Amino acid sequence: MPCLEEIRRGLEAAGQTHVLRFWSELAEGERETFLQDLALLDLKALRKHCEAARTAAAAASDPHQDRDQDMEPIPPQSIGSVRKSDSSALSEWEDKGLLQISQSRVGALLLAGGQGSRLGVSYPKGMYDVGLPSGKTLYQIQAERIRKIQELSERRHGAKCTVPWYIMTSEFTLTPTKKFFDENDYFGLDPANVVLFEQRMIPAVSLEGKIILQDRGKLAMAPDGNGGLYQALMDNHVLEDMEKRGVEYLHVYCVDNILIKMADPVFVGFCVSKGADCGAKVVRKAHASEPVGVVCRVRGVSQVVEYSEISEETTELKGPDGELLYSAGNICNHFFTRTFLQDVAENYKDQLQQHVAMKKVPFVDSSGHHVKPSKPNGIKMEKFVFDVFPFSRNFVAFEVEREDEFSPLKNAEGADSPTTARNSLLAQHHRWLLAAGATLTHGDGNSVPAGDSPPPPPLPQWEVSPLVSYFGEGLEDLLQGKTLPTPFVLDPVRANELIGGR
């Protein structure tokens, strides 16, 4: 049992004794739980954390200094593109990636510690059903894509393989995620190859630099951002697990992108062929003023520069090809070698930049009354996964098409919502089916002309299971000359029926 007096002295030194103001009102069991939570805090670093949060929040309210004079684009020799690279190069990268996967040298690492508060749900975002005809959640879609890429790699190179799936959770998401996977039999994956681990939590701080009490005997805690990955890899011995399995390359991504290509062999093959230790997928900015971070170099060092740090004049600059000079939008979709992750975790994780997030944090006031604030009242300090780019010795970027690979789920309504995510996936599958030679018919029986763009949302309900096709491959032999009504879900059972009906 932690010592109350020792913790009290630590809180006093940090200027945070207010967290014990309701101690006398707590029941014995509540005291034990609260004391154990407090014991997990780094009391020696607590004052520094709270002061840094207050200072950072004040600085964040000032306009950012433009960084234009120090910026330059990523050099052409360090960039690949599904749009600009020739088909032979893309095929070569894909085969190289499939080879690495077939040798079980590639793992997928999912960042899933966020609370999903903007989406308005009380469960992990990966468990969300965006309303597809199949009713599949993000977790199921991703699990099935892993199964399919393993199958494709095995078929190409004749070797049975595994893509281990590492899932970083938090205090909020670990238990429900584990339960969800258990209840769904890991969506056909071997549970031994799905590794859940937990990132650290840090206390939320008020604008005055005081730790916020969520309840009389509970601190308001938050995950330390997706950049907490590097500390979590060390805390949970994940790097040792990777080494034991022979994993050399990691595809790292965020849970909310419904179009994510799990362990994308083209991306992996490109990065490996370039000898990169760190890579980032990017999409072209939709327009010059799109509020998205830009992957570029600053004083010769690769990194992400936030849109607010770039002047309007610089955002509008164009290169010799007539395209925006700074168009490489960051989408939190990365490649790392295991040795690079090891290097960062051991030597650089404490040098990562701290970012300020202003949040509405429910709290108890000095009278013990629960308050749900109407405006941001708390500071959450976060680290970002991409803040390790400057430590890379060979950084590359890979441009992909937004309509094929990026549609995030962040908000309950409007942009980046369940509706936009669902429509992005259905529109992609609509393109695949038409390209495969299928005839698609609307509810009124009329056919969709081949080559036409999808009709305006809400889209007709044609969905392709990842277990049938990873990225549109293999559909022509199956669907050429077939008529598909809506709604239609092309799953393995339906695929077998189509084969049997020839």
Pairing between β-strand 462-464 and β-strand 488-490 as defined by DSSP bridges: parallel
Higher-pLDDT residue of 165 and 349 is: 165
What secondary structure does DSSP assign to 366-420, as a single string? TTS-EE--SS--EEEEE--GGGGGGG-SSEEEEEE-HHHH--B---SSSTTSHHH
Higher-pLDDT residue of 452 and 468 is: 468
CATH code of the region 68-405 = 3.90.550.10
Q: For the residues 219-248, what does the mean pLDDT come to?
A: 95
> What are the residue ranges of helices labelled H in 158-275?
174-183, 229-235, 238-245, 265-273
The residue type at 98: L
Q: For the residues 231-249, what does the mean pLDDT come to?
A: 97
Q: For the residues 387-391, what does the mean pLDDT come to?
A: 97
Burial label for 16, CB within 10 Å (0-12, 13-18, 19+), is buried
Is the pLDDT reported for residue 65 higher than 90?
no
Q: Domain 422-500: state its class.
A: mainly beta
Is the pLDDT reported for residue 452 higher than 70?
no
Pairing between β-strand 439-441 and β-strand 447-448 as defined by DSSP bridges: antiparallel
Is the pLDDT reported for residue 150 higher than 60?
yes
- The answer to whether the CB of 462 falls within 8 A of the CB of 484 is yes
Is the pLDDT reported for residue 2 higher than 80?
no
Q: Output DSSP code: residue 347.
A: I
Q: Over the chain, what is the mean pLDDT? A: 93
Q: For the residues 67-83, what does the mean pLDDT come to?
A: 93
pLDDT at 62: 58
Q: Output DSSP code: residue 24.
A: G
Is the pLDDT reported for residue 501 higher than 80?
no
Tell me the pTM: 0.93
pLDDT digits (tens, 9 = 90+) for 288-300: 999 999 999 999 9
Q: Output DSSP code: residue 10.
A: H
* Residue 134, CA atoms < 13 Å, CB-side half-sphere: 22
For 131-142, letters b (16+ CB in 10 Å) and e give ebebebbbbbbb
For the chain, percent of residues with pLDDT exceeding 90: 79
Tell me the angle at which helices 87-102 and 265-273 cross, rounded to the nearest 10 degrees: 100
pLDDT at 117: 77
pLDDT digits (tens, 9 = 90+) for 413-428: 999 999 999 999 999 9
- Domains in the chain: boundaries: 68-405, 422-500
Q: Output DSSP code: residue 63.
A: P
Q: Which of 382, 7, 80, 114 is nearest to 228 (CA)?
A: 382
